[in-house]
Amino acid sequence: MYQSYAVGIDVGGSSLKCGVVNQDGEILYSTIVSLKNAKTEEAIIVLIAEAIGACAKKFENPILGVGVGFPGIIDNNKVIAGADNLPGFEQLALGEILQDMTGHNIIIDNDANLMGLGEMTYGAAKNCSDVVFLTVGTGIGGAVMIDGKLYGGFRNRGTELGHIVVQHNGVSCPCGGKGCLEAYASVTALLNHYRYIHPDLSEREEVDGKYIIERYLAGEEYAVNAMGVHFDYLATGIMSFINIFSPQKIVIGGGISEAGGFYTGEIERRIKTLTVPITSPDSEVISAKLGNKAGLLGCAANVFQKFKAFNDASE
């Protein structure tokens, strides 16, 4: 009986996070490959295939498969539409291409989905089966796990959690819609709001999430107001997720969620007053645990989930 390994490749806009992970979620080897000089789709695919080869060679035992996390819409191992900062990657059978190039089983999914799967398998929501994951940053992304599996809707187009509407005919969102959760509760929205209400903040002053949190904890009036609105909208969105899915945990990732226990506490306090009583008693809002390793670990978790059962059946 030998140990099972998975290779994970988390594709970002500027680099590939690559690693070899065992079934316990231990990262046994990891490396980062820069995409700085890869200007075309072909060049990026070659780098991904090379990274898979390099990871697979690290261990004597054969790997079970390769999980790839990719920013964009992924349907059945195909990239339907990739992120803006990666050239090409439209209607591309990336899974098949990588399988042909490397000879390994390949399973691809959206990067935010895999961060959620990583947190459910190895992180904050370990041992849970029904989980909503939200990443709060420049935008808001997320994932929904139902009965232990990622849920993506028809053709994996759904669970755009940042684009549920929290304000009818509200402010414009980068997605083209109006009044989306992302437009009100992302860190971008928080920074804009803080700048807007602060009377004597110079244009040149660097303001980021950490800066506002520090001011908030120090009791500065504008930071308290801006954070209050941020918590209100985030809680409003999460309330809807609880009413639909009744998850055991709502895991919040992204840099700002690491601010401290008060962050999820403030959201939870608001939710208790908003949700339908029958749906909310068991739902708990918690911070993500895996940080920037969530994507890589989710890639591996996807491999163990998709290919392990098949191997078991064929033994």
Q: What are the residues binding Zn ion (CB under 5 A)?
A: 163, 173, 175, 177, 180
Q: Are strands 65-70 and 106-110 parallel, antiparallel or unpaired?
A: parallel
Q: What is the 3-state secondary structure (H, E, C) of 160-193?
A: CHHHCECCCCCCECCCCCECEHHHHHCHHHHHHH
Quote the least distance from Cβ 151 to Zn ion, whole Å: 20
The total of other beta-carbon atoms located within 10 Å of residue 193's CB is 18
User: In the complex with Zn ion, which residue's Cβ is closer, 163 or 249?
Assistant: 163
User: In the complex with Zn ion, which residue's Cβ is closer, 161 or 180?
Assistant: 180
Helix 221-245 to helix 261-274 angle (10° resolution) is 60
Residue 171 contacts residue 183 (beta carbons within 8 Å): yes
User: In the complex with Zn ion, which residue's Cβ is closer, 18 or 140?
Assistant: 140
Quote the least distance from Cβ 76 to Zn ion, whole Å: 25
Task: Look at the chain and count its residues.
Answer: 315
User: In the complex with Zn ion, which residue's Cβ is closer, 64 or 164?
Assistant: 164
Query: Which segments of the chain are extended strands (E)?
Result: 5-11, 15-22, 27-34, 65-70, 72-75, 78-82, 90-92, 106-110, 131-136, 140-146, 149-151, 249-253, 284-287
User: In the complex with Zn ion, which residue's Cβ is closer, 163 or 293?
Assistant: 163
Quote the least distance from Cβ 178 to Zn ion, whole Å: 8
User: In the complex with Zn ion, which residue's Cβ is closer, 163 or 230?
Assistant: 163
Quote the least distance from Cβ 162 to Zn ion, whole Å: 6
Quote the least distance from Cβ 292 to Zn ion, whole Å: 24
Quote the least distance from Cβ 77 to Zn ion, whole Å: 26
The radius of gyration of the chain from alpha carbons, rounded to an integer in Å, stands at 20
